[in-house]
Amino acid sequence: MVAKGRAAGGLCPDCGRFSDRVHDRYQRRLKDLPLAEQGFVIRLTVRRFICGAADCQRRTFAEPFSGLAAPHARFTKRLNRALERVGLALAGRAG
Ligand SMILES: [Zn+2]
């Protein structure tokens, strides 16, 4: 599945100011729960915004997808939860 954010912009994680100035875009590849017994991958286009605040140390920041996945994660949150349940149920043996 191909996806991208729909928000107009984002809040700088350091100063909290809003920015809709796009610096660049990059692709994230997130594994999700299987669909119809097939592996499911989300190819997510992430925008990197410019923080233009003069008193902010941060130059750019990536738009967050906190409901979907943690920063830098390769799995979605719900796939992580499923894998944790399998690991706990099998006491760490291969699931
Ligand atoms: Zn900032």
94 part of a folded domain: no
11: tokens are: 């809040």
Q: At CA 85, angle to CA 89 and CA 36, rounded to 5?
A: 115
> Which residues are placed with Cβ below 5 angstroms of ligand 1, an ion?
12, 14-15, 51, 53, 56, 58
pLDDT tens sequence across 68-94: 999 899 999 999 999 999 999 998 787
- Rounded mean pLDDT of the chain? 94
16 part of a folded domain: yes
Contact 87, 75 (CB under 8 A): no
Residue 6 domain boundaries: 2-89
Question: For the chain, how many structural domains are there in total?
Answer: 1
pLDDT tens sequence across 41-52: 999 999 999 999
pLDDT of amino acid 94? 76
Q: Helices H, strands E: what count in the chain?
A: 1, 6
pLDDT of amino acid 93? 81
Residue 95's pLDDT band (cuts 50, 70, 90): low
The dihedral built from the CA positions of residue 11, 80, 31 and 37, taken in this order, carries a sign that is negative
pLDDT tens sequence across 11-37: 999 999 999 999 999 999 999 999 999
User: Can you tell me the mean pLDDT for 54-66?
Assistant: 95
64 part of a folded domain: yes
Beta bridge pairs of residue 49: 22, 61
CA of 67 to the centre of ligand 1 (A): 22
Which letter, b or e, does each residue of 24-61 get, where b requires 16 or more Cβ atoms within 10 Å of its Cβ?
A: eeeebebbbeeeeeeeeebebebbebbbeeeeeeeeeb
11 part of a folded domain: yes
